């Protein structure tokens, strides 16, 4: 038995998860992203975005600690502890590790212990930097087996700027935000009328939930009455898209997640027949660092979406001859050592496991299938 929201990983899944993580490490490193290691234990901070859902512990001094619940805040802390974030130059970091939450949302698949791989581009804010991270996210999706995935790109900055233009109190803006994000147009229309929002601005806000689709959505948005700040948001997004003609992106200008955190675009990736996002990220200038954009990919989520086989892959050979076993491994084969000299027992075991060769006395004996 294990606690709710945690699980064992048996050899086939554990091996594949490790291999996937190593492939992503090599990909991110090839793009210039250096690895960092972050502590699993942190000082408990009531202002942390996930403070209410974090596991808390008390050490022998009485200090309240927390198990790491997300990586972005940890990366920001690492940079601040080592001379501060860079200014006007890019720093590229990658990480991988386990996260823990006392309470997990349905979006996390109800897991309370899960593993992520991610990347952060810190120190610069430009369409080129956003395009780099989006393209890198797409390369990661292909690397783990999702060439058919699509990345949905939202622009919380646009939603936030339009809501600010209403001049409404925060609680009313929050109700509008929720209706926009849920794409609940009837509720949104009723709220706009009840709050007496200026008609042209109300028309623009009411159009947001339907601004979903290909790059033509930008032109639809530009035909709406927009403030100069909102038009600047669209100009930025268009500059990003122009750098990524080959990346399959869908625009969702009604995406209104975490308006206080994301300051530019944000994105999530989905694949057909799997309802939860495989990765997510965005730009969060000023939220934790002066300039930063990044994303994280959930390994358990990816493996669930891949529907990988759970049967174990057998080694190619079973060896009585240790020297021959060593040479075979140097050639790239997977070889188990025999635990007995009883050849009949070894042959029966190898056939049952699906092992093709028996290595003995300097030679390989091919075994007939069981």
| DSSP one-letter string for 96-123 | EEEEE-SS--GGGTT-SEEEEEEEEEES
What is the band of 5 on the pLDDT scale with cuts at 50, 70, 90? confident
pTM of this prediction? Answer: 0.84
User: Going edge to edge, which strands form the sheet with 91-100?
Assistant: 34-35, 91-100, 113-122, 292-298, 274-283, 266-271, 150-154, 249-252, 212-213
Question: How distant is the alpha carbon of residue 163 from its chain centre?
Answer: 28
What's 207's DSSP letter? H
Return the pLDDT at 311: 64
In percent, how much of the chain has pLDDT > 90?
A: 67
Q: What's the rounded mean pLDDT across residues 70-85?
A: 91
**Given a cut of 60, is residue 319 above it in pLDDT?**
yes
> DSSP secondary-structure letter at 263?
S
pLDDT value of residue 109: 54
C-alpha distance from residue 346 to each of 84, 352, 366 (Å): 60, 10, 13
Residue among 260, 307, 258, 253 at smallest CA distance from 280: 258
**How many Å apart are CA 150 and CA 271, to the nearest integer?**
6
Angle CA 232–236–242, to nearest 5: 140
- Residues 20-46 have a mean pLDDT of 96
Straight-line distance from the first to the last Cα atom of the chain, in angstroms, rounded to the nearest whole number: 35
* pLDDT beyond 60 at 107: no
Question: For the stretch 189-220, what's the b/e string if a residue is b when 16 or more beta carbons lie within 10 angstroms of its beta carbon?
Answer: eebbeebebeeebbebbbbbbebbeeeebbee
> What tens digit of pLDDT does each residue of 143-161 get?
999 999 999 999 988 888 8
Summarised one tens digit per residue, pLDDT across range 174-222 is: 999 999 988 999 999 999 999 999 899 999 999 999 999 999 999 999 9
Give me the residue label for tokens 């669209």: 234
For residue 49, what pLDDT is reported? 84
């Amino acid at each position: 038995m294990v606690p709710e929201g945690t699980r064992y990983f048996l050899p086939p899944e554990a091996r594949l998860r490790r291999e996937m993580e190593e492939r992503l490490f090599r990909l991110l490193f090839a793009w210039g992203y250096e690895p960092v290691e972050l502590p699993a234990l942190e000082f408990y901070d009531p202002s942390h975005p996930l403070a209410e859902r974090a596991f808390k512990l008390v050490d022998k001094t009485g200090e309240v600690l927390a198990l790491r619940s997300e990586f972005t805040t940890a990366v920001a802390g690492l940079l601040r502890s080592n001379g501060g974030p860079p200014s006007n130059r890019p720093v590229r970091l990658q990480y991988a590790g386990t996260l823990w939450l006392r309470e997990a949302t349905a979006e996390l698949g109800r897991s309370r212990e899960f593993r992520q791989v991610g990347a952060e581009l810190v120190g610069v804010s430009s369409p080129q930097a956003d395009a780099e991270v989006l393209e890198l996210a797409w390369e990661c999706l292909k690397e783990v087996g999702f060439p058919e995935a699509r990345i949905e790109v939202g622009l919380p900055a646009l939603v936030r700027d339009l809501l600010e233009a209403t001049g409404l109190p925060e609680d009313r803006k929050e109700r509008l935000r929720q209706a926009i994000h849920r794409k609940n147009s009837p509720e949104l229309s009723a709220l706009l009328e009840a709050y007496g929002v200026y008609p042209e601005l109300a028309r623009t806000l009411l159009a947001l939930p339907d601004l979903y689709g290909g790059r033509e959505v930008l032109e639809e948005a530009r035909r709406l009455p927009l403030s100069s700040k909102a038009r600047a948001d669209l100009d930025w997004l268009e500059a990003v898209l122009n750098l990524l003609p080959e990346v399959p992106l869908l625009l969702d200008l009604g995406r209104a997640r975490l308006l206080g955190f994301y300051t530019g675009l944000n994105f999530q990736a989905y694949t057909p027949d799997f309802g939860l996002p495989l990765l997510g990220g965005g730009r969060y200038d000023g939220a934790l660092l002066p300039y930063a954009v990044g994303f994280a990919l959930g390994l358990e989520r990816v493996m669930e979406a891949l529907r990988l086989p759970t049967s174990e892959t057998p080694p190619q050979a079973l060896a009585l001859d240790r020297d021959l076993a060593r040479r075979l491994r140097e050639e790239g084969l997977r070889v188990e050592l025999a635990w007995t000299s009883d050849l009949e027992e070894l042959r029966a075991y190898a056939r049952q496991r699906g092992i093709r060769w028996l290595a003995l006395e300097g030679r390989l004996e091919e075994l007939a299938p069981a």
